[in-house]
Structure 1
Amino acid sequence: MSRFFNMIPGTDACCILLYGDIGEYDDNVRSGDIARELLEAEALTGKVDVRINSNGGEVYSGIAIFNALKNSKADITIYVDGIAASMASVIALCGKPVQMSRYARLMLHSVQGGCYGNKDEMKDCIREIEALEDTLCEMYATRMGKDKEEIRAMYFDGKDHWLCADEALALGLIDGIYDADPVPEDSTPEQVFQIF
């Protein structure tokens, strides 16, 4: 059995993969695994590359991962390789810095959840979803240098908001595009192969 779930130790830097759904069950990206491996990576090299390709998942697990990364003493760079959707887009906010592939996407939207019970239990569930949205609005607003209510109006309207790398950079959600040179349209297959 492998010693690490998501970490690849390296000479100059360790790499932590946040590839998959975020949650505390089965083969998901679990907050406890990430926090433990982040501490080990800090001790090994002090430099950590975090690579994200995730559709998102559980909010509380995502907040724990966000806090572990944000409060780490390691020199962390976050890379959005494919998709950072929903809670994964929130985790990407803590990057120091955040780099995104020009071919990747961020997706922001309202908190989703559900419950079963009587009307009071359902009202409690709605209050908790609203409280979580308030927290996430504050996290986005801090990163983007905007007012929390402006973020709520822009992204917490019940729709999915897909952002390409250029849009995310313009909004301040990321710090750079790591493969910024586009592939020329008239490239031959051999030239495309050489680029990648």
Structure 2
Amino acid sequence: MKKFWNWVKNEEGRTLYLDGVIAEESWFGDEVTPRQFKSELMNEGGDITIWINSPGGDVFAASQIYNMLMDYKGQVTVKIDGIAASAASVIAMAGSEVFMSPVSMMMIHNPMTIAFGDTAEMKKAIQMLSEVKESIINAYELKTGLSRIKLSHMMDAESWFNSKKAVELGFADGIMFQNESEETSPEEGMIYSQMAVVNSFLHKLPQREKKTGTDISILDKRLELLKF
């Protein structure tokens, strides 16, 4: 297992860097990696700071890390300096305080998997994804206080938040490098969804492509660029 985390210790205390994909190889059923991560986390006490810049990854790894951090006795401060998307956003919810860079982003969406088999196996996969989604909502709900229905809808839409919107919704507690006297204006926060981006793109297509429908391959290629 390639380590996706790095501990640094200085006069300010211990800092954990999560940079890149969370567990490029799934650690589901793996006993070594989770134990190693927990050992390094619990090796010393005191407050810790976690810097996150990750597009996400293994939801099982993220869930276990979330649990370990929630159970940690010291203060856990999370700082998002780039992106905390998908599984990485779950880990961020374990922070006693969560701060985002003014130029950082957070993304939440429905869990995904690859499945094969007959109808029964497909139904099992759907049920599994549904349960995983509910478990993820538990973490979001605990941090934000938002309703499960609203959180579910945001995950369905694959929602992207800038720092101000994340604070407004309760996913973050503050914005880094901002003076305490500065107030965040709710109207300045922005939330983006994949569907909104696609719809906006379709409205900007040349009318001749909409009317004739002859250049479907070009349209498909353009839509492909919108996938995250």
TM-score (norm 1): 0.80
Query: In 1, distance between residues paired with 2:69 and 2:134?
Result: 21
Q: What displacement does 1:149 show?
A: 1.9
Give the match for residue 178 of structure 1: 176
Matched residue of 2:43: which SS? helix
Q: What displacement does 1:97 show?
A: 0.7
Query: In 1, distance between residues paired with 2:155 and 2:126?
Result: 14
Query: In 1, distance between residues paired with 2:36 and 2:165?
Result: 32
For each residue in 1:10-38, what CA deviation from the matched residue of structure 2 results, as whole angstroms up to 9, or x when unmatched?
23311111111112639xxx644432221
Letter in 2 for 1:119: T
Q: Counterparts in 2 of 1:79-90, with a 5 A limit?
A: 79-90=79-90
Q: Does 1:17 align with 2:20?
A: no
Contact 2:106 2:161 in 1 (8 A): yes
- Where in structure 2 are there 5+ consecutive unaligned residues? 27-32, 180-228
Q: Counterparts in 2 of 1:96-115, with a 5 A limit?
A: 96-115=96-115
Give the match for residue 136 of structure 1: 136
Q: Counterparts in 2 of 1:9-158, with a 5 A limit?
A: 9-23=9-23, 25=25, 31-42=34-45, 46-153=46-153, 155-157=154-156
Higher relative contact order at CA 8 Å, sep ≥6: structure 1 or structure 2? 1
For each residue in 1:70-92, what CA deviation from the matched residue of structure 2 results, as whole angstroms up to 9, or x when unmatched?
11012221100100000101110
Q: Counterparts in 2 of 1:164-175, with a 5 A limit?
A: 164-175=162-173
For these two proteins, the number of residue pairs brought into alignment is: 170
Q: What displacement does 1:180 show?
A: 2.2
For each residue in 1:135-168, what CA deviation from the matched residue of structure 2 results, as whole angstroms up to 9, or x when unmatched?
1112211211122122112x122x3211110000
The two structures, once aligned, show a CA RMSD in angstroms of: 1.9
Letter in 2 for 1:171: L
Instruction: From the superposition, tell whether residues 21 and 32 of structure 1 become closer, same or farther in structure 2 (CA, over 3 Å).
Output: farther
Matched residue of 2:166: which SS? helix
Query: In 2, distance between residues paired with 1:8 and 1:81?
Result: 17
TM-score (norm 2): 0.70
For each residue in 1:80-129, what CA deviation from the matched residue of structure 2 results, as whole angstroms up to 9, or x when unmatched?
01000001011101101111101100011111112111211111011000
Letter in 1 for 2:85: A
Structure of larger gyration radius: 2
Give the match for residue 204 of structure 2: none
Query: In 2, distance between residues paired with 1:17 and 1:57?
Result: 15
